[in-house]
Amino acid sequence: MTLTAGAIAALVCVSVSALVVLGVRGQAEGFEREKTISAALEVVHLIKRDHLRPLLSRGETAALQVLNARGRVVSSSANLQGDPPIASFKPGENNVYASRRLCPPAGLKGCMNVVAFRVYQPDGDWTVYAAADVVPWYVGSNLLLFLLCVSLLVVLVAVVGCWRLVDQTLAPVDAIQAKLSEITATESGRRVPVPPNRDELRALAEAANATLDRLDAALEQQRRFTSDASHDLRSPITAARAQVEDALLHPGDTDWPEVGRAVLGSLDRLQAIVSDLLELARLDAGAAQGGTDLVELAGLVEAEVARAPRTKEIVTDLDPDVTVRGDRLRLARLLTNLLDNAERHAVRGVHVAVRAEEGMAVLEVVDDGAGIEDGDREIVFQRFTRLDAARSRDAGGTGLGLPIARQVARAHHGTLGIEDSDRGARFVLRVPLSD
């Protein structure tokens, strides 16, 4: 930006200087022309009064010369003494004045502006020549030097001013960059400084701090998730190891089939946790996007209810022809997770309903358990969440079923949440109907 400002200032200075030179040169040429004409008229006056002398004082003109009616030089300035006529042109028959630029006039050097005056005398027309130096394109060295100094000063002021302005403007950016470079995964609590002025840089700093807030929340959730996942993964491993070590202490008195069944139960729980973690990883990576299966929710519910025996009564209220587009296997996984969760916490039964509502397919799973407090309705969708004893994660679940269900709903451009009900927990899935 500084270089650009300097280049623009230089271009402006060159343009202004050119206009100034053109204007001053026009004035200077007019001034020189007036001096030359004035000097020539003085000589004409001398001729008319018969006071002409052989030697003329040229004053501020370059040269003066007078020719009689026969074309002979009868008077001239000192620098033209003994020289032939400096020009051959004369004013027209109907004019008394003419001017030409000669490069050079006879007996002189360089280009000059020469004016000629016709003087009427009894013996014929005389001619008066007056020559003046041509004004150079730069008018004069003093003007050129003045314009050069002014231009350099203007460019310098523009460069320094732009440099300081940009430096002051970008100072908050440097502070933000320095602070961001200090932030690491272990020291993410820092925030960038917010400039006092309400401008784009303040908006940038506020957006950066908001991003860091979300990053801190995500890191904290990741830490909690890692801690909880490591605990849940260690529990079945520790249980299986304890069972095997206890059996090895008294191998003769051990019921090995019973030990095998106990270890197999621990391995089943470990496998369930690992499977859920892998499923969440795939969902987080967007693996559920782009499902194209046409899924009728009523048929899906009937198939899942009939697939395996349930310990609680399942009551259904299913509207036909409620169809969505998506991944059939993942939607079945969502429904299974909701049914398993409701079955674990229901007292006598679970109610499942399917209907269409304002362009959305609605699936409800309601249990008749203790229900969930309003403040905990979002917490239950966090991974490895633990609530109170009435709704805490028991041995039948991994604590990942509801997070997986919500991720599947989002992957299908839908929502999954907990809504008000007379008794128990009411999970409601809303997914756009298929065309």
CATH of residue 267: 1.10.287.130
Q: Does some domain include residue 37?
A: yes
Is the pLDDT at 242 greater than 70? The verdict is yes
The answer on 65 and 11 residing in a single domain is: yes
Burial profile 197-206: b = 16 or more Cβ within 10 angstroms, e = fewer: eeeebeebbe
- The mean pLDDT of the chain is 85
The answer on 261 and 297 residing in a single domain is: no
Q: Does some domain include residue 269?
A: yes
For residue 101, which of 73, 133, 71, 127 has the smallest C-alpha distance?
A: 133
The answer on 297 and 221 residing in a single domain is: no
Q: Are strands 97-102 and 124-133 parallel, antiparallel or unpaired?
A: unpaired
Domain interval for residue 107: 2-133
Name residue, tokens 């730069």: 138
Query: Can you give the pLDDT at residue 186?
Result: 65
CA distance 387 to 365: 20
Q: Does some domain include residue 181?
A: no
* Domain CATH for 304: 3.30.565.10
Cα separation values, 149 from 14, 17, 144, 155, 229, Å: 12, 11, 9, 10, 75
| pLDDT tens track for 264-287 | 888 887 887 787 777 777 776 665
The answer on 338 and 278 residing in a single domain is: no
Q: Does some domain include residue 59?
A: yes
Instruction: Pick the last residue of a domain from 284, 315, 347.
Output: 284
CA distance 329 to 144: 86
Contact 131, 113 (CB under 8 A): yes
Q: Does some domain include residue 149?
A: no
Tell me the residue type at 233: L
Instruction: Pick the last residue of a domain from 229, 258, 284.
Output: 284
CA distance 176 to 192: 5
Where is pLDDT greater, at 94 or 318?
A: 318
Is the pLDDT at 375 greater than 90? The verdict is no
| pLDDT tens track for 37-70 | 998 999 999 988 888 888 888 777 889 999 998 8
Q: Does some domain include residue 154?
A: no
Q: Are strands 97-102 and 73-77 parallel, antiparallel or unpaired?
A: unpaired
The answer on 320 and 254 residing in a single domain is: no
Q: Does some domain include residue 146?
A: no
Where is pLDDT greater, at 18 or 236?
A: 18
Cα separation values, 97 from 166, 372, 413, Å: 62, 113, 96
The answer on 423 and 352 residing in a single domain is: yes
Contact 344, 336 (CB under 8 A): no
The answer on 210 and 100 residing in a single domain is: no
Question: Is this structure's pTM higher than 0.75?
Answer: no
The answer on 299 and 423 residing in a single domain is: yes
Instruction: Pick the last residue of a domain from 249, 284, 319.
Output: 284
The total of structural domains in the chain comes to: 3
The answer on 39 and 13 residing in a single domain is: yes
Longest CA–CA separation in the chain, Å: 163
Q: What value does the mean pLDDT take over residues 374-386?
A: 79
| pLDDT tens track for 320-362 | 889 999 888 889 889 998 998 899 889 889 999 999 998 999 9
- Contact partners, residue 93, CB within 8 Å, separation at least 6: none
Is the pLDDT at 434 greater than 90? The verdict is no
pLDDT interval class at 396 (50, 70, 90): low
Q: Does some domain include residue 95?
A: yes
Q: What value does the mean pLDDT take over residues 150-166?
A: 93
The answer on 325 and 238 residing in a single domain is: no
Distance of alpha carbon 106 from its chain centroid, rounded? 71
pLDDT interval class at 200 (50, 70, 90): confident
The answer on 325 and 258 residing in a single domain is: no
In this structure, the dihedral spanned by the alpha carbons of residues 379, 385, 388 and 392, taken in order and rounded to 10 degrees, is 120
The answer on 257 and 127 residing in a single domain is: no
* Domain CATH for 122: 3.30.450.20
**Angle 153-159-160 from CA coordinates, rounded to 5°:** 90
Q: How much of the chain exceeds pLDDT 70, in percent?
A: 92
